[in-house]
Structure 1
Amino acid sequence: MYRIIAISFMLLFVSFSNAQNMIATPSSVVPCTVCHGTQLMGNKSNEAPRLAELPAWYIERQINEFKAQGRGVHPDDHSGAEMLPSAMLLTPEALQEVFEFIAVVKPPQPEKTLHGDIERGKQLYMQCVACHGAAGEGVEILKAPPLAGQNDWYLLKQLQHFKSGVRGANSKDSSVQTMVFASKALSNETDMIDIISYISTLNNETGTN
């Protein structure tokens, strides 16, 4: 009897602790969670990236790229095509609520789904440091987003898109031309997995992609 009471109390305490860590989702952010997942932690099923911890300047720029039809118009960019109409309807006020939500929400760190050669990936990452930072923190002045803290499956998909021309070939998506050239330096998917495996070891304390 006492054991049952003790277990019940422990479960109640855990539930209360989890509730304390949950942040109320504003109504304008709720539609975003349909694709980008609870607490905007990303959703692999529809290839929607993790938005949590991404800086406002990067998200705003991507929204503008969608609105200018620089992203989401390539026939092979299925996830981008899903985002395109949502971006078109996103108001500045709603976007500001998204930024405010991201500033306070703290979802768990992404689960690692890729397992490459981390040491080799570290060497490959040397070519990325100038734009994305040694810790993968991103560099706003270069329009280079954070990489640390992003879902590894999303990073792989984007590298594949850059290399194949699905992303970056559109002249209206001018901010990623450097990334198009950088992707060419990765010979194959093994290179991509190795470099992403190393990125997954980095912690982004300043706000990530």
Structure 2
Amino acid sequence: MGRIGLLLALLSSTAFAQAPSEFATCVACHGAQAQGIEAMNAPQLAGQNADYLVRQLQGFKTNTRNSADDAIAATMQPMAAMLTEAQMQNLANYLSQLPPQPTTKAASGDANRGYKYYQGSCGACHGPKAEGNPMLHAPNLAILSPAYLTRQYQQFADKKRGFHADDKYGRQMQFMSSALPDEQTIADVVAFIQSQGVQE
């Protein structure tokens, strides 16, 4: 192993050694670097805003995020139910400090066209580069895969997410899910978002 490879291995093992014990439960679906595993429909968590992660864990735990017919989201409920508030915060702080990895599959849309729609409908909350805004409780979108972004947008549009009265910010996003007029526009916006993320 070369010097660079050895250094990366040491850094990786050091980061993993510093992970809270709760992270071990996340690895099977979200990956050892919290990079997400598309085949598991599990999003990247590395680099996500800590307050957003805590809020989603709370939502899974209390069933205010996942609808009864969303089998993928339902798998998170028993995982979140095991965590205390302090554990959620500790885990979220750790994940937010991990470096995001590039998404593995390219988006199919037109990023230049998507830029215009994104800035008009999404940028005010999620930031001009889709980096998120903790002050507005808006997550980092640039770290997420095209497939995950598309699916979640559709979940909001279908009222499978953001449906609960206690999910204040989810309900705001459900309202905004009508902003993009068709599937091609959604694909274009997703392509722009991906262009703002970590590149290989």
Q: State if a TM-score over 0.5 links the two structures.
A: yes
CA distance in 2, matches of 1:60, 1:131: 19
2:169 — aligned with what? Answer: 175
Pairwise mapping of residues 1-209 of structure 1 onto structure 2 (< 5 A)? 11-22=1-12, 23-24=15-16, 25-75=19-69, 77-126=70-119, 127-203=121-197
Q: Which amino acid in structure 1 is aligned with residue 85 of structure 2?
A: P
Could you tell me how far 1:152 is from its partner in structure 2? 1.9
- C-alpha contact (below 8 Å) 1:113/1:153 kept by paired residues: no
CA distance in 2, matches of 1:40, 1:70: 24
Q: How many residues align?
A: 193
Question: Cα gap change, 1:192/1:65 in structure 2, threshold over 3 Å: closer, same or farther?
Answer: same
Unpaired stretches in structure 2, ≥5 consecutive residues? none
Identity value in percent: 33
CA distance in 2, matches of 1:69, 1:104: 27
- C-alpha contact (below 8 Å) 1:68/1:172 kept by paired residues: no
C-alpha RMSD over aligned residues: 2.0
Question: Cα gap change, 1:15/1:202 in structure 2, threshold over 3 Å: closer, same or farther?
Answer: closer
1:52 match: secondary structure = coil
Could you tell me how far 1:141 is from its partner in structure 2? 3.1
- The range that moved more, 93-102 or 59-68, is 93-102
Could you tell me how far 1:142 is from its partner in structure 2? 2.4
CA distance in 2, matches of 1:198, 1:97: 32
2:128 match: secondary structure = coil
1:72 match: secondary structure = coil
CA distance in 2, matches of 1:53, 1:200: 15
Q: Which amino acid in structure 2 is aligned with residue 47 of structure 1?
A: N
Could you tell me how far 1:102 is from its partner in structure 2? 2.1
Unpaired stretches in structure 1, ≥5 consecutive residues? 1-10, 205-209
Query: Residues 165-209 of structure 1, C-alpha deviation per residue, up to 9 Å, x if partnerless?
Result: 1111222322222211221122222111110100111148xxxxx
Question: Cα gap change, 1:140/1:38 in structure 2, threshold over 3 Å: closer, same or farther?
Answer: same
1:28 match: secondary structure = helix
Could you tell me how far 1:34 is from its partner in structure 2? 1.3
Question: Cα gap change, 1:56/1:28 in structure 2, threshold over 3 Å: closer, same or farther?
Answer: same
Query: Residues 92-126 of structure 1, C-alpha deviation per residue, up to 9 Å, x if partnerless?
Result: 34324423432443253222332211111011102
Q: Which amino acid in structure 2 is aligned with residue 108 of structure 1?
A: Q
Please identify the structure whose Cα radius of gyration is greater: 1
CA distance in 1, matches of 2:38, 2:151: 11
> 4+ residue stretches of structure 1 with deviation over 4 A?
none
Could you tell me how far 1:36 is from its partner in structure 2? 1.2
Could you tell me how far 1:14 is from its partner in structure 2? 4.8
Question: Cα gap change, 1:26/1:139 in structure 2, threshold over 3 Å: closer, same or farther?
Answer: closer
Query: Residues 43-66 of structure 1, C-alpha deviation per residue, up to 9 Å, x if partnerless?
Result: 112211111001111111111222
